Amino acid sequence: MKKRLFLILTLILAIIQMQAQEQSKTQVGEYENRTERHNRENCKDVSLLKKQYIKDSLQLAPEEENDFWAIYDQTEQEEQEVHEAFLKFKNEQLVVLENGRVDHNALTEAQKLLLLEKRIERKTKLALIEQDFFNKIQKVIQPKTVLQYYKLEKEFRKKVISESKKREHSLMKDAEAEPIPKKIRR
């Protein structure tokens, strides 16, 4: 079961890699629109994989299942809203590079301070959402199942990070191996 999920995760990450290569060939305006849409789609794909991974591995009693997944889905939605609000702030009020990172050198001191405040605000909101999630699920599932849930979430995160690093390493190797186009050669 875990091997199947790992294979699905690998396939999705390979698809993400191919889509990222296609994006590098588009114009700058198209790039920005597609990147934002692409990131949202990838987040949804990873969220679905995470949910399926937990669902397949977590031992929930039938009477626990509906309540747990309702709480889980609500929490995921709340977390997504916090992340989207932060992304909107970055894109509207800061200088953002093509890779989605903030160009810290282009920021004023006031913008740097605002960015730090928004990051702390985001972390605080996410921590409160996590606390609320814990308080709710401990009422509907057994403590050993709560522990199992957090263990599965941690395992999934490690697998995603590992696959992401492998993909990044592969992209770097591919970039080094690409021949120089004739127009650029001298």
Average pLDDT, integer, range 115-141: 96
Handedness of CA 88, 92, 94, 95 (dihedral sign): positive
0.85 exceeded by pTM? no
- Tell me the per-residue pLDDT of 15-66, one tens digit each, with 9 for 90 and over: 666 666 655 445 444 444 444 555 556 667 888 999 999 999 998 988 899 9
Give the DSSP letter string of 75-91. HHHHHHHHHHHHHHHHH
Tokens 């282009």 appear where? 106
Distance CA 117, CA 87 (A): 14
Please say whether the beta carbons of 104 and 133 come within 8 A: no
